[in-house]
Amino acid sequence: MDAPVIVLVISFVVLLALNVPVAFCMGISTVLAFLAMGDLPAFVAVAHKIATGIDSFALLAIPFFILSGQLMGQGGIARRLIDFANTLVGRFRGGLAFVNVVTCMFFGAISGSATAAVSSVGGFMIPLMNKMGYDRDFNASVTITAATTGLLIPPSNVMIVYSLATGGAVSIAAIFMAGFLPGVLVGLGLILVSAVISVRHSYGKGETFAFREGVTRFLRAVPALLLVFIVIGGILLGWFTPTEASAVAVLYAFFLAVVIYREVKIKDLPRILLQCGITTSVVFLLIGTSMAMSWVLASENVPQDISAYLVGLTDNKVVLLLLINAILLAVGTFMDMTPAILIFTPIFLPIAERLGLHPLHFGIIMIMNLCIGLCTPPVGTCLFLGCGIAETTVTRVLRHIVPFFVAMIVSLLICTFVPQLSMWIPDLFGFVR
């Protein structure tokens, strides 16, 4: 291993252990690696790589989807989706747990953010489930894991990042389509685990609704649900590109939150725009520093070396796929999704392609692995946020969340070894070539 790579890895790990924010870990370690290379002015080179790393038209979709998600999150959408989900699955034993999962799937798909789903859905559902006799730590576990389904069901910002990391080999529209069935599979797995636990502990007797009430709740939720159909349908029909679709999503979310539901006031917009700007700046700093670090790794042939090493260990496809999944699961526990995708896609995608995996299929495998990392310490954004909302501790929740982890890992393995789940819809719409 060359000196620049050694400097990069050691400095990154040390800074991460010192609890330095991930973006600064990557930026500082990349500067040190450039200094070790010695043939470029380090600060100028890193600044250039950060600037060119975010110079992409496709990335404009990210701030627009963030803004549309925040408008939806503060526009009363979650409550209407909860009411609609309650009419669908609330009648069964443990019905509120099912409602929680289904609402997170709906809301995550609309907002494209797992943390937004935890905050908006969990902020309402966890206290309600506590009141109805469900265990507090069980309630937090359901919300934390279910929130990640929104990163698989489009539109999703991490899918845009994956498209960028492949260098255009995978289109945003194609990866959007590939995530539908895996996202639904994860949701069904979580519902199954919730059902078993609810029956065992006699949680929730279920709630029935008159047909008219069910229709009313559906009609209230339709405007919110239409966002997904407008965005995805417009892309499939060729009305607009994914980036243009994100702008359409903002206009629609604004109209819905301000004009139709009237839960976002004009005076609230500066605060929402400021929060969107802060979130966007964090995401783009992560992307920029990740691209700079990726350039150093690529220039030192690290992806090729790792690929050759792993392939040299065994020629068994199943063993290699399990090994890649294990590494990505480990990565997800200590690294945010955005830099993890940008750094590890160039490393593992060539191996996956040598094994006969389509880049779309591998993208879904990678995202599913990293979604699990959002629910695990020490980084676990969804885990810590969910524990805060539920007013409980990470230690207590971890004892209850294990069955949900098992469901997510089983779903991951099914998607890994049954590529049709990821490839069927993109192939149906002609995105597979």
pLDDT tens per residue across span 237-263? 888 888 898 899 899 989 989 998 888
Q: What DSSP character marks residue 50? A: H
- What mean pLDDT is predicted for residues 199-227? 81
**Structural domain count, the chain:** 2
The Cβ of residue 232 has, within 10 Å, a number of other Cβ atoms equal to 20
Query: Which range has highest mean pLDDT (124-133, 237-246, 363-372, 421-430)?
Result: 363-372
Residue 130 lies in a domain: yes
Residue 413 lies in a domain: yes
Residue 258 lies in a domain: yes
Alpha-carbon distance 394 to 378, whole Å? 10
Confidence category of residue 181, pLDDT binned at 50, 70, 90: very high
Residue 205 lies in a domain: yes
Asked if residue 350 has a cis previous peptide bond (ω within 30° of 0), the answer is no
Residue 173 lies in a domain: yes
In the prediction, which pLDDT does 207 show? 63
Residue 289 lies in a domain: yes
In the prediction, which pLDDT does 39 show? 63
DSSP 124-154: HHHHHHHHTT--HHHHHHHHHHHGGGGGTSS
Q: Tens digits of per-residue pLDDT, 73-113? A: 787 787 888 888 888 877 788 888 999 999 889 887 777 78
Residues 352 and 371 grouped into a single domain:
yes
Alpha-carbon distance 244 to 71, whole Å? 18
Check whether 154 has a pLDDT greater than 80: yes
In the prediction, which pLDDT does 277 show? 92
CA dihedral sign of residues 152, 401, 408, 103:
negative
CA 369, distance to chain mean position in Å, is 10
Check whether 138 has a pLDDT greater than 70: yes
Check whether 183 has a pLDDT greater than 90: yes
Residue 100 lies in a domain: yes
Residues 1 and 132 grouped into a single domain:
no
Q: What DSSP character marks residue 21? A: -
Q: Within 13 Å of residue 411, how many CA atoms lie on the same side as its CB?
A: 33
Residues 176 and 211 grouped into a single domain:
yes
Q: Which phi and psi (to 5°) does residue 55 adopt?
A: -85, 75
Residues 125 and 28 grouped into a single domain:
no
Q: Tens digits of per-residue pLDDT, 39-76? A: 667 788 888 888 988 888 888 888 998 898 888 878 77
Residue pointed to by tokens 């599979």: 185
Q: Which two tokens stand for residue 240?
A: 């607009």
Residues 224 and 315 grouped into a single domain:
yes
Q: Which domain holds residue 222?
A: 54-428
Residues 213 and 306 grouped into a single domain:
yes
- What mean pLDDT is predicted for residues 174-182? 94
Residues 23 and 95 grouped into a single domain:
no
- What mean pLDDT is predicted for residues 287-295? 89
Confidence category of residue 320, pLDDT binned at 50, 70, 90: very high
Residues 370 and 388 grouped into a single domain:
yes
- What mean pLDDT is predicted for residues 147-164? 91
Residues 137 and 6 grouped into a single domain:
no
Q: Which two tokens stand for residue 338?
A: 């955005």
Residues 103 and 143 grouped into a single domain:
yes
Residues 384 and 326 grouped into a single domain:
yes
Check whether 10 has a pLDDT greater than 90: yes
Q: Tens digits of per-residue pLDDT, 233-242? A: 888 888 888 8
Residue 433 lies in a domain: no
Residues 141 and 251 grouped into a single domain:
yes
Could you give the dihedral angle defined by the CA atoms of residues 384, 388, 393 and 396, in that order, rounded to the nearest 10 degrees?
A: -80
